[in-house]
Amino acid sequence: MTDQAIEPAVEPATTFSDVERRIKAILIGSAGNLVEWYDFYAYTAFALYFAPAFFPSKDPVVEQLNAAVVFAATFLMRPLGGWLFGYLADQYGRRLSLTVSVLCMCFGSLIIAVTPTYATIGIAAPIILALARVIEGLSLGGEYGASATYLSEVADAKHRGFYSSFQYVTLIGGQLTAIVVLLLLLQKVFLTTEELKAWGWRIPFFIGACLAIFVAVMRRNLHETEAFVEAKKKAGSSSSMAALFRYPRELLLVVGLTAGGTAAFYTFTTYMQTFVKLSVGLTEDQTTMVIFGSLLFACVLQPLYGAISDRIGRKPLLIFFGIAGTLSTIPILTALKATKEPFTAFLLICGAWIFTAGYTSINAVVKAELFPTNIRALGVGLPYAITVSLFGGTAPAIALYFKSIGHETWFYYYLSGVIFLSLLIYATMRDTKHASAMHRHE
């Protein structure tokens, strides 16, 4: 049943009003995605400054390792978020799920902003910090599935890869926004370095909470997708775990699709700032500028690759990522550690993004095209969240652990191996562009 190719339905001619409506929906949906990921990545961008306040230690590597462990721990909640918000999105609408998820992110960010330090309340400080990150992890666990589903469903069939790529444009844009805030604070116009380390790191979390409230109001005005409305009209259409497990092949495909890509993504986003600072040895200003420039480059690649996938299919891009990632990861990270030049570091990270974007630009639409409408958000969100928890969120902690025991290069081989495992899936799967379930209702 699920192994058979599904021909996409023929869509009516697209009018200007259709295009305008889709663009508006994507902009509003993407704005929410950007704010959620800004809140989430503010933790990574400012970890170098607040880690001593929550995890005081004489060794900065240990401080960053503890912060990375809390970062990884938040991913334990993402599967629960994927299930909860995926169910909400499939049963009650994409709009409700997206609105509630951004409110959860607001709450988590606000907790971080007001939590006292270790010096004030002792061990309770890192515990409260971990609780806040758990709430944020729950929120993001639901955001991905609902957002991927929404952006895929509002797009027309000919441009679905292009439109869906904006999920990662805004996802990376969230980290860029966090870095912009960091750059502004580093200019010492408003705060000194000592003030930033003492209390200034709380500012970005206050900003994130305020932005999240604004986006929640915006998302209340989102239009439901036609695919969801049509699915709810069909008698007996429902979203449940029982219905989801009727698609074991698709669930396993999501896991295989995600493992290598998410490990690479979190390596070249969240871990890169720590790696460039601690392993390459650049200054804080140089590190921030290198990461900012490489992420800006990554943003530009997303819609370009998404548009290419609309012409040649999704599978060639995935295979490109798998082959290039397997062969290039070790040389790039080895060369990156050896260099001391900021511009060389920037070029090397951009080189990694040239193949990583082959996954990030289209992974959302590929997964959305695997499932029928009534279980799409749950089918995309739950297995994705589980896989990201295992391979994505743990990447910085694994890398820092290997560094702490004197075998940093082991992580290079680990990452290359995980990408190779996903390559095996890419090589054997069908191209979802030509076998899409986007117009199917069960």
Task: Provide the pLDDT for residue 10.
Answer: 45
Q: Phi-psi category of 313—alpha, beta or left, where left has phi over 0 and alpha has psi -120 to 50?
A: left
Alpha carbons 300 and 16: distance in angstroms, whole number: 26
194's tokens: 């000592």
Alpha carbons 18 and 368: distance in angstroms, whole number: 21
CB 71 within 8 A of CB 393: yes
Give the right CATH number for 25-225+242-428 from 1.10.101.10, 1.20.1250.20, 3.40.190.10, 3.40.630.30. 1.20.1250.20
Alpha carbons 21 and 18: distance in angstroms, whole number: 5
Task: Provide the pLDDT for residue 93.
Answer: 83
CA angle (140 as vertex; 134, 145 as ends), nearest 5: 140
Task: Provide the pLDDT for residue 46.
Answer: 82
CB 384 within 8 A of CB 329: no
CB 317 within 8 A of CB 309: yes
Q: Backbone phi, then psi, for 368, in 5-degree steps?
A: -65, -35
Alpha carbons 330 and 417: distance in angstroms, whole number: 10
Task: Provide the pLDDT for residue 9.
Answer: 44
Alpha carbons 45 and 51: distance in angstroms, whole number: 11
* Other Cβ atoms within 10 Å of 335 Cβ, number: 14
209's tokens: 């909470």
**C-alpha distances in angstroms, 40 versus 79, 114, 137, 177, 298?**
16, 16, 8, 11, 18
The series of mean pLDDT values per 10 residues for the chain, 442 residues long, is 43 56 74 80 79 74 71 78 88 86 89 88 85 86 83 82 89 87 79 83 90 84 78 63 85 94 92 84 84 94 95 95 97 93 94 97 92 88 90 87 91 97 95 72 52
Helix (H) or strand (E) holding 51: helix 47-54
To the nearest 5 percent, what fractions of the chain are helix, strand and coil?
80, 0, 20
Alpha carbons 315 and 320: distance in angstroms, whole number: 9
17's tokens: 């009003």
Q: Where are the domains of the chain?
A: 25-225+242-428
Q: Counting Cβ atoms within 10 Å, is residue 306 exposed (0-12), middle (13-18) or buried (19+)?
A: buried
CB 277 within 8 A of CB 287: yes
